[in-house]
Structure 1
């Protein structure tokens, strides 16, 4: 947050990206026409996005989430906005259940009290609720804080989370990423605590017929090597469930891969990293599970880390052999960014096709990029849209938080602009599977 204090509010700009630099095969298709400059970390700017059918659920950093009708991708329409909760606000969805991450202790005594977000004073350094909020949205046009069903406290909070379906047991599991073990505090009335030696992620069980009974059902150790904890926490957890492949990867101090054949009891397989990466940010897999895709976030997402003079490692995506952890290759953002543009490779998703391995990524003010890594030793750029700096004179927080392929379109969730859509016309996405839903970090088959 200290870095953010140096930023200047973004100047208002026109919504949409017609006329931006980019490749001809990636065309702007629609937008929600929002303008929410991020002036500090107590603002309702936009975070990640999840999809269920023809609806998008977009997280709001300081505030809650909103529901958008994307049945016409060229003209997405906001249906409602829920005002409930503090940062970080990443969301997941299953049916009419919406899960939201809270990553700061809130001085609340009831579940509804976790909605009190009108002042930074709701935060506490001595302990309070942080974890997962669970909403049941019965009317998407009238969603509100009254739809909050319960909250589940998780140790050191929930920076992000990953939705893992478990239909055999009529439940969904939520893998909770804490990102950092701070501030430290003893156990609260909500069951969460935070200690410096975290070394795990937690699993929350949500019974689909009784979501109010959601609870933490497991602590998953991140493993040990020579008596020392392999990693202390996860920033994101990528999950693959496709034709017998059941894997998870914790993006933390190192990359930690698990077998999740039993999703409630992940089994440690291996860990790996590369010199120069201090902490991983996001992890995914090729749909056959053979390649693990990792990214990191130097500068915390608020710094300009993609200038021509920056080292390649700061603006790279890494491809590892899942079975061994051997680095196969890297893709480096080929377009230099300005000193006024916050930039790293941020959140990405894998296109659901067995024909090729293709990812779509958001890179803050570097925009949206499409990369073919079918040959991970020689990944290549397929398409891109890179807007001009939000403010040519001052460093601002803006740009693509994450970009995802969903049913024939690329959806970019943008920090200040809301939701942008793009149409990609390229053979690499031919045969991409239609999906009835999509959650960040969760890859579900069958594909292949």
Structure 2
């Protein structure tokens, strides 16, 4: 393990050889893999890179310009205090949720419950086998919610993959009772159009509303017809979750014809995903506000009536954004950070050739009041540690670190690792800490690294796609005040008011 006092600033040629083979051109013309149907529930397929790129990686490791294979490096203000490898669920690790002394880890094969009462030694409480990518996960009270975004033979946890062209295929939301964390019980299933790639909870006292994000309709899919430009809203009674049902499908991008509204993508906007739904939504229930990352569009909308969300503003970036992936509000709700999943989570996009703007986070100020609020672009942020051409690196899931008067967040970047950065000055964001591993593979392009990195009750928890569950502790005067903020529950996409 290597500790560095600050982020590496030495620039290198790494990534240029791979780009010369056409990587950049490919990224600019491609869009992320379709959400429906998923090709299966196994790990991502590795792809070999050129011999010149392999030699470049070996040279960079030998020169100490990048970490060695699986070698851990981090800034001096972060400690790596625990790792729990994957166990009986071998699939891709995905999102995280938290409740009390428990962490809930999604996996393409199901989910895992950890006891994190001692963050230095997390213990497995239970593991539930229930395949169905991508198993995005949330919790509320005694209920756990799991997204299924691959076509299955039925809604059971014993289902098998089945083509989306068959009417009997199933995709959607699953609901579990977790009153006994050691023995979760499957209690409800709701089929949703085009499945459930991600979901977001809007909790109430008696009910939980679930906003289901899905996309990529196709005329050949009976349950996923174009234009689809909306979200499914599910109402789940807390005391009778078996009665969960869809109560609305609000169209967020109205338009004429089969293509609907939203960003048309290419050829009008080369390299930009066509909007056919949303990828992820973050809500601020205390402020009746939500931000949607919707493929080719970023949106701000009101959830004052949770069954009927209303668009306030809509923005596009047809120069540097390829796929609007996720959103994070600051505490004051006057900024939104949108992430760009350039390459669809399957490409080496943190290279010198791709540069600092493409595949970056976009920081937007929210200006104005009420229904006249606007999203105004201020700057980009991207990690400044170029990765190897064998490392899939992309802006991914993160959360606020609750510091009053400051805008600081932690974020996962796949094999780019975990980054802690400050965007208090919207126009000049800066990284203040990081943690990463060296390439998982030095000869083949491989999907690995942190899918999600979230701050919860004094620690950073990271769900590594390949390496398992990591626990980090940051010791920095800029983030120290966050140690005193305690939450009973955290679903990052249901953003709390940390200082209420």
Specify the TM-score bucket, using the shorter chain as the normaliser: 0.7 to 0.9
Q: What residue number does 2:102 align with?
A: 55
Task: Write the distance in 2 (CA, Å) between the matches of 1:321 and 1:225.
Answer: 27
**Cα gap change, 1:437 to 1:182, in 2 (>3 Å):** farther
- Report the equivalent of 1:392: 442
Counterparts of 2:423 and 2:331 in 1: how far apart (Å)? 12
Q: 1:97 aligns with which of 138, 143, 162?
A: 143
Equivalent residue number for residue 11 of structure 1: none
* Distance (whole Å) between structure 2 residues aligned to residue 413 and residue 182 of structure 1: 32
Q: Is the 8 A contact 2:93 2:107 kept in 1?
A: yes
Cα deviation 1:124-149 (Å, max 9, x = unaligned): 43232111001112422234xxx111
Partner residue of 2:115 out of 63, 69, 84: 69
3-state SS in 1 of match to 2:437: coil
Tell me how far apart the structure 1 counterparts of residues 220 and 457 of structure 2 sit (CA, whole Å).
Answer: 43
Structure showing the higher strand proportion among its residues: 1
Structure 2 residue 216 is the aligned partner of structure 1 residue 180: yes
Superposed CA offset, 1:194-222 (max 9, x none): 11200101111110011000011111221
CA distance in 2, matches of 1:384, 1:369: 4
Inter-partner Cα distance in structure 2 for 1:123 and 1:81? 27
**What is the Cα deviation at residue 264 of structure 1?**
2.3
Number of aligned residues: 415
Residue 430 to residue 5, structure 1, CA distance change in 2 (3 Å): closer
Shift of 1:301: 0.8
Unaligned runs of 5+ in 2: 1-32, 34-38, 49-68, 263-274, 367-372
1:268-303 deviation per Cα after TM superposition (whole angstroms, max 9, x unaligned): 101002123232001111111110110011111121
> Matched residue of 1:397: which SS?
coil
CA distance in 2, matches of 1:58, 1:182: 31
SS in 1 for 2:343: helix
The question of whether the paired residues in 1 share the 8 Å contact of 2:464 and 2:470 is answered with: yes
Instruction: Mark the CA change 1:182 to 1:430 in structure 2 (over 3 Å): closer, same or farther.
Output: farther
How big is the shift at 1:123? Answer: 4.5
- Indicate which of 237, 245, 248 corresponds to 1:215: 245
Q: Indicate which of 486, 495, 500 corresponds to 1:434.
A: 486
Structure 1 residues 40-51: aligned runs within 5 Å: 44-51=91-98
- Residue of structure 1 in register with 2:350 after alignment: 306
Bigger shift: residues 23-32 or 314-323:
314-323
User: Residues of 2 paired with 1:407 and 1:289: CA distance?
Assistant: 21
1:269 alignment partner in structure 2: 312
Residues 319 and 125 of structure 1, relative CA distance in 2, 3 Å threshold: same
Considering only aligned residues, what root-mean-square deviation do their CA atoms show, in Å?
Answer: 2.3
Q: Which has the larger radius of gyration?
A: 2
Taking the aligned partners of 2:186 and 2:479, their CA distance within structure 1 comes to 38
Partner of 1:328: 378
Change (3 A) 1:19 1:44: closer
- Given candidates 368, 380, 388, the residue that maps to 1:338 is 388
Pair 1:133 & 2:174 matched: yes
> Post-superposition shift, 1:267?
1.3
Could you give the per-residue CA deviations for residues 165-193 of structure 1, whole angstroms, max 9, x where no partner exists? 122xx11111101032247433xxxxxx2
Give 1:44-443 correspondences, 5 Å limit: 44-61=91-108, 63-108=109-154, 111=155, 114-117=156-159, 119-120=160-161, 122-127=162-167, 128-143=169-184, 147-167=185-205, 170-182=206-218, 184-186=220-222, 193-224=223-254, 229-230=261-262, 231-242=275-286, 245-252=287-294, 253-276=296-319, 277-322=321-366, 323-432=373-482, 433-443=485-495
Deviation at 1:384, TM superposition (A): 0.3
Deviations 1:386-418 (A, max 9, x none): 211011222211100010000000000111122
In structure 2, what is the Cα distance between the partners aligned to 1:181 and 1:346? 23
C-alpha deviation, 1:447, in angstroms:
2.6
* Distance of aligned partners of 1:196 and 1:311 in 2 relative to their CA distance in 1, 3 Å threshold: farther
The CA deviation string for residues 73-120 of structure 1, in whole angstroms up to 9 with x for no partner, is: 111111111011311111111122111000122122xx4xx2124x54
Cα distance in 1 between the residues matched to 2:303 and 2:498: 16
1:4-63 superposed Cα distances (whole Å, 9 cap, x missing partner): 44437xxxxxxxx996222100110111133799xxxxx6221111011111111111x2
Cα separation, partners in 2 of 1:393 and 1:35, compared to 1, 3 Å? farther
- Give the match's secondary structure for 2:284: strand
Conservation of the 8 A alpha-carbon contact between 1:36 and 1:417: no
| CA distance, structure 2, for counterparts of residue 36 and residue 297 of structure 1 | 29
TM-score for the superposition, normalised by structure 2? 0.79
**C-alpha distance in 2, partners of 1:34/1:18?**
16
TM-score (norm 1): 0.87
User: Aligned to 2:221, what secondary structure does the other structure show?
Assistant: coil
Moved more, 223-232 or 153-162: 223-232
